[in-house]
Structure 1
Amino acid sequence: MGLFHRKVNHEAPLMVEKPGFSVKLPRQPSTLAPEGTYTNADLDPTLPNQRTWGAVTWWTFWVSAAMDSTAWQTGGSLVGIGLDIKHSLIVVLVGNCLIAVPIILNGAIGSQLRIPFPVAARASFGVYFSYFPIISRMILAWFWFGIQTYNGGSAMTQALRAIWPSYNNIANHLPASAGFTTKDMLSFFIFSVVQLPFFFIGPNKLRWFFMAKCIIVPATALGMMGYLVHASGGGGPLVAQAPTATGSDFSKAWLLSLASVMGNWATLAVNAPDFTRYASSTKAQWMQFPAIPICGLFICLTGIFGASASTTLYGGEALWSPFDILAQWDNRAAVFFCAVGWMVGGIAGNISTNSISAANDLVTLFPRYINITRGQIITALIGGWAMVPWLVLSSALSFLNFMSGYSVIMAPMAAILSVDYWLVKKRAYHVPELYDPRGIYRYEAGFNWRAVVTVIACIAPNLPGLINAVNPDIDVGNISWYYAPGFITGYVPACVLYVALNFFFPHFPTLLAAAVTADDVDTTVEPVQDGSWDGKSAGQDYEMGQIPEQQHHVNY
């Protein structure tokens, strides 16, 4: 629809008014949501002709998702806080293998039931409490959008100074507290303008742009790494370098690095159904398990070797950002093409994993007023500017703190989705009921208190460590070590606690013997709405997994 929709004058059908802005969007039809529910048709289960993601698609998806400047920075920042190449590679491999587990477990919800994350979350969180993980993911998508846009602005600076060297001499009129210079702000603005038109193009029409990224960005990363390693005397001396951190500092750096690597994909561990719903079969999404660590290791490896080589070439601390490295180069052609390569990666990554995701969340929250295009524009304004991404990227340590920090927030949500589907409800979701705000997944007033308790209990212990990471001057004692592993200390305890609560306090209406998918429902037949089921039947009514026919669309 875009920002505007066409108004038709029914009294004179041959006369069509000019497009006009409408704050409220027209209602979209849904095949499963009951009458009177304002929803978004994009949240419906995917149709058979939309299920096209096979093994090759999953590889290209992860190549596209992993290949950007933030992944280079993740690898480079590990060296920047004191790890050597060998330990950095181990951390990257272990972290990506571990985070692949919840991504695949939660991805099964989408590949088997064909529903997106906002709908799947209702089964475990409740109709209204599901807004909490949706909003959390949206905020983090805004942060990531800002980081990618700031990186694009940094690439724009290098591209412009390669064309006009005098661009590098723009005087700064901003105070030091601003976190960036006048030149940085100008580049950030220019890149934002260049990126803006892509929001008005559907993702399917941009597939060739995404495919180009899969070629351009790996070539850029390999080219930069190859030059740096060759210029520094080869890979041998770099591999032989010892870690600069020792003792407890080394242990802390190792754990913080592991948390940051896993935090890089923490959002996908939660909203994996948004992508796996398009899988060509229930088994196709398992191809992610080798794809995630291999693709993640490749791009991080280029950043690790690049940062290590920079210490030999330029002296001083490791240059963990590719844009700091480009700033050292005098070859204007090399600088320009590398900068353009990183800009392509930033735009494609922002659209595929940040702006579209945040826009979908906004559509879920405000279906009357926001569509995908409006959601992307709001994301550009809030994520690009209000989230001040230049402060997050001020140093390698602050970047890693941000990465590990938000992972402890997302981890309990990913855990609840995983164990609810696999252990508590044993993959038996009733998909049509997920679309009914008065159905069995309403729980108590729209909140599953088991999920509420789990989220609070598993996030709270990590808060002191998060506070200390943000402001090291605040002493929180040894509890910061509990926070250090990040995603792990949020995910594992949440799995145990949520399963325990459901074991001792089961919610019988949602415990079914078999799943009911959208394919099992004849949407051409009106559902029974006599309201005779009161939702308080004893547990034995559900032992056979049979939902009373009149249960659909009940009034609680």
Structure 2
Amino acid sequence: MTTVSPRTQETDHLGRVDLTDRSAVGPNSFVNEELLPTPLPKRSWTTYNYAALWMGMAHNIPSYLLASGLIALGMNWLQAFLTITLANLIVLVPLLLNSHAGTKYGIPFPVFARAFYGLRGANLPALLRAFIGCGWFGIQTWVGGQAIYVVVGELIGPAWTEAAAFGGYPWTAWLSFAVFWLLQMAIIWRGIEALRRFENWAAPLVTVAFLALMIWIVVEVGGFGPIFAQPSELGWGAEFWPVFWPSLMGMIAFWATLSLNMPDFTRFARNQRTQVLGQVYGLPTTMSFISMVSIVVTSGTIVIYGEAIWDPVEVASRFSSPVVVVIGLVMAVLATISANVAANVVSPSYDFSNALPRLLNFRTAGLLTGVIGILIQPWRLVSDPQIYIFTWLGFYGGVLASVAGVLVAGYWVVSRTHLDLAQLYHPGGRYWFTAGWNWRAVVATALGALGAVGGAYSSAEGGGPFPVDGLIPLLKPLYDYSWMVGLVIGFVVYAALALSASRTKA
């Protein structure tokens, strides 16, 4: 058993903890420079930095697709707006609870997870998060590439837009996808500070661009009246609730990834107040704004074109002025880069680095994220709102919710926010458990995931990869509440097992 003196860590007047002697953790297979605690002098992010981060992450095309997808599924503007707003208020709770550890200890998400899963076991939640981040990276990159494809098409014409097809799309669409991929890799290669600077100036520009799109639609249809007069195809009765609950879980799942790995960013915070206020100002307000823009624009397309066009790239491509199209889609490209690099590359970079710290650093792990994001074939995931909201979001949200339940229970109930910082890097130490794994966390995660998504089903009308009766028919009713089920089971099971073990040792 490796022992480390408690004096290897110190707490400053703001309650932030750091290692007094970094050599105390020594070189081993669980340490590299990115995984060590952020030194106190480098914890400098302000409230604005976190608000801008969320503006950049939330104001993007896939966020827009959430509300427009709900409109396409039959909700009216009020139903879609309330669903998304409620979802973001709910997910803010575990997000802030897990953010606390990042600020207090200066550690990224996979190191935080070691306290409850074990030094080796932490790779389970970290890699789950990483591969979902890769999926999201691919989705955002495909959407951004489509925006580039439309912009260049407006400038060049049919020679670009009607190029020879390959794999179901013009080869120029694939080229646009590749160019957008390279732009993002260039930013991540420059490191986390380059990302912070990019978010600070890009976020306000993107907000203005989405606002301009909404104003254009309102002018075209003659005011808000025709938009808000669009009736719900579902009503508020028996047809609404079967759509509402899985939609709510899908909306929560949209940021379920960040509810786990927000310590990757809050490790740079000046203090707890800074990150809490920045996130409270940033997440609910920006998501409510982008959802309202999406609702107004998508409802407006019903009035103008007679159908709900849920893809903003397609909406922008119908503008009569090429100049307006180009400006709008350039802003869409900026929005997607801003969201994608922050939300979907930073965390997998830390997660893959945690799995192979001697082979991968932040930069090389970021490149690995980009490659996996292509292999996942993201163009298939965003082809249909049924698949996007109910299959992709609903399924992974339930799995990650069980991890969130373990982390919240472990940090706040079992550990009472007290961690031994140096031991998080020591094989054979306090967080080694059994061969580097804490079976209690694994069991809680597995049971939470089983309850959440064991009954995953696809509708007979909308299709999808799951049986109509559910993977496990008995659990089918729980799938509509997947995120909540996973969170509660993960929390309760881990708290019960860990507290029982603590009493036995006492």
TM-score (norm 2): 0.89
Q: Deviations over 1:219-254 (max 9, x none)?
A: 111111111122122212222222112554421221
Q: Deviations over 1:395-434 (max 9, x none)?
A: 1221112122211111011111111111112112111111
State the 1:211 CA deviation.
2.2
Q: Are residues 215 and 285 of structure 1, via their aligned partners in 2, closer, same or farther at CA, if it must alter by over 3 Å?
A: closer
Q: Write the distance in 1 (CA, Å) between the matches of 2:456 and 2:246.
A: 12
Q: Write the distance in 1 (CA, Å) between the matches of 2:144 and 2:90.
A: 29
Q: Write the distance in 2 (CA, Å) between the matches of 1:435 and 1:207.
A: 27
Q: Write the distance in 1 (CA, Å) between the matches of 2:79 and 2:151.
A: 34
State the 1:343 CA deviation.
0.7
Q: Write the distance in 2 (CA, Å) between the matches of 1:248 and 1:44.
A: 53
Q: Are residues 308 and 258 of structure 1, via their aligned partners in 2, closer, same or farther at CA, if it must alter by over 3 Å?
A: same
Letter of the 1:271 counterpart: N
Match of 1:398 among 387, 407, 414: 387
Q: Write the distance in 2 (CA, Å) between the matches of 1:473 and 1:122.
A: 36
* 2:212 is aligned with 1:220: no
1:131 corresponds in structure 2 to 123
2:291 corresponds in structure 1 to 300
CA contact (8 A) 1:97 1:289 kept: no
Q: Secondary structure at the match of 1:426?
A: coil
Q: Write the distance in 2 (CA, Å) between the matches of 1:171 and 1:465.
A: 44
* 2:321 is aligned with 1:331: yes
Letter of the 1:100 counterpart: L
Q: Write the distance in 1 (CA, Å) between the matches of 2:493 and 2:30.
A: 34
Q: Write the distance in 2 (CA, Å) between the matches of 1:379 and 1:37.
A: 21
Q: Which moved more, 1:105-114 or 1:191-200?
A: 191-200
Match of 2:370 among 360, 380, 390: 380
Match of 2:484 among 475, 479, 488: 488
* 2:126 is aligned with 1:106: no
2:5 corresponds in structure 1 to none
CA contact (8 A) 2:53 2:196 kept: no
Q: Write the distance in 2 (CA, Å) between the matches of 1:36 and 1:382.
A: 27
Q: Secondary structure at the match of 2:25?
A: coil
Q: Deviations over 1:328-348 (max 9, x none)?
A: 222111110111111111222
Q: Secondary structure at the match of 2:502?
A: coil
Match of 2:465 among 461, 466, 471: 471
2:227 corresponds in structure 1 to 238
Q: Are residues 431 and 199 of structure 1, via their aligned partners in 2, closer, same or farther at CA, if it must alter by over 3 Å?
A: closer
State the 1:183 CA deviation.
4.2
* 2:301 is aligned with 1:310: yes
Q: Are residues 169 and 54 of structure 1, via their aligned partners in 2, closer, same or farther at CA, if it must alter by over 3 Å?
A: closer
Provide the alpha-carbon RMSD of the alignment.
2.1
Q: Secondary structure at the match of 2:431?
A: helix
Q: Write the distance in 2 (CA, Å) between the matches of 1:443 and 1:413.
A: 18
CA contact (8 A) 2:47 2:274 kept: yes
Q: Write the distance in 2 (CA, Å) between the matches of 1:143 and 1:370.
A: 20
* 2:342 is aligned with 1:342: no
Q: Are residues 277 and 465 of structure 1, via their aligned partners in 2, closer, same or farther at CA, if it must alter by over 3 Å?
A: same
State the 1:305 CA deviation.
1.2
Structure 1 unpaired stretches of 5+:
1-28, 509-537, 540-556
CA contact (8 A) 1:465 1:484 kept: no
2:31 corresponds in structure 1 to 39
CA contact (8 A) 1:180 1:390 kept: no
CA contact (8 A) 1:179 1:394 kept: no
Q: Write the distance in 2 (CA, Å) between the matches of 1:183 and 1:248.
A: 46
Q: Deviations over 1:494-520 (max 9, x none)?
A: 212221222333377xxxxxxxxxxxx
1:18 corresponds in structure 2 to none
Q: Are residues 82 and 31 of structure 1, via their aligned partners in 2, closer, same or farther at CA, if it must alter by over 3 Å?
A: farther
State the 1:473 CA deviation.
5.0
Match of 2:108 among 116, 133, 156: 116
Q: Write the distance in 2 (CA, Å) between the matches of 1:153 and 1:324.
A: 13
CA contact (8 A) 2:346 2:366 kept: yes
Q: Deviations over 1:98-146 (max 9, x none)?
A: 0000000011111122222111101111121111001011101101110
Letter of the 2:113 counterpart: A
Q: Which moved more, 1:459-468 or 1:49-58?
A: 459-468
CA contact (8 A) 1:266 1:407 kept: yes
State the 1:466 CA deviation.
2.9
Structure 2 unpaired stretches of 5+:
1-20
State the 1:282 CA deviation.
2.8
Q: Deviations over 1:332-369 (max 9, x none)?
A: 11110111111111222222222222122221111222
Q: Secondary structure at the match of 1:42?
A: coil
CA contact (8 A) 2:30 2:119 kept: no
Q: Secondary structure at the match of 1:442?
A: coil
CA contact (8 A) 1:30 1:40 kept: no
Higher relative contact order (CA 8 A, sep 6+): 2
State the 1:463 CA deviation.
2.9
* 2:46 is aligned with 1:50: no
Q: Write the distance in 2 (CA, Å) between the matches of 1:265 and 1:237.
A: 32
Q: Are residues 196 and 455 of structure 1, via their aligned partners in 2, closer, same or farther at CA, if it must alter by over 3 Å?
A: closer
1:205 corresponds in structure 2 to 194
List 4+ stretches of structure 1 deviating above 6 A: none
CA contact (8 A) 2:440 2:497 kept: yes
CA contact (8 A) 2:29 2:357 kept: no
Match of 1:422 among 403, 412, 429: 412
Q: Deviations over 1:130-178 (max 9, x none)?
A: 110010111011011101100111101110111112245424534xxx5
CA contact (8 A) 1:69 1:346 kept: yes
Q: Secondary structure at the match of 1:279?
A: coil
Q: Which moved more, 1:36-45 or 1:60-69?
A: 36-45
State the 1:472 CA deviation.
5.5
Match of 1:389 among 373, 378, 383: 378
Q: Write the distance in 1 (CA, Å) between the matches of 2:207 and 2:265.
A: 23
Q: Write the distance in 2 (CA, Å) between the matches of 1:179 and 1:245.
A: 34
TM-score (norm 1): 0.81
Structure of larger gyration radius? 1
2:80 corresponds in structure 1 to 88
